[in-house]
């Protein structure tokens, strides 16, 4: 069963689309479900891994 904007639906009733983005910033995988014959997305989930951490440089000053 897939949770959708129309309630839980059997996956066999839906058209599934998956995709991914892999760049310097992130690796992202997404999945979308639509009703057959419809362009309306009724479910979209995203799993994202961030690749860039935030970084602070600490430095002790010289005299």
Partner 1 sequence: MANSQAMCTKFKVDVMNGLHAFGASVIRAATTKDTFKAALYLASATYDASTTAYSATGEVSGTNYTAGGVAVTTATAPNSSGTTAFFTPSASIVYTTVTLATAFDAVLIYNDTAAGKNAVSVHTFGSQTITAGTFTLTMPTNDSSTGLIRIA
Give me 34's structure tokens.
Answer: 């639509």
Residue with the two structure tokens 């479900």: 33
**What does the alpha-carbon distance between residue 34 and residue 21 come to, in Å, rounded to a whole number?**
21
Q: Please report how close the Cβ of residue 54 comes to partner 1 at its closest, in angstroms.
A: 4
56 is an interface residue for partner 1 by CB under 8 A: yes
Residues 22-41 that bind partner 1 (CB under 8 A): 23, 25-26, 28, 30-32, 41
59 is an interface residue for partner 1 by CB under 8 A: yes
> What is the contact surface with partner 1 in residues (CB under 8 A)?
3-5, 21, 23, 25-26, 28, 30-32, 41-60, 62
């Amino acid at each position: 069963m897939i949770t959708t904007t129309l309630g839980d639906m059997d996956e066999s009733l839906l058209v599934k689309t998956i995709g991914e983005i892999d760049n310097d910033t992130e690796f992202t995988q997404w999945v979308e479900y639509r009703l057959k014959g419809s362009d309306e997305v009724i479910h979209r989930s995203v799993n994202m891994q961030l690749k860039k951490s935030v970084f602070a440089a600490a430095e002790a000053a010289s005299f």
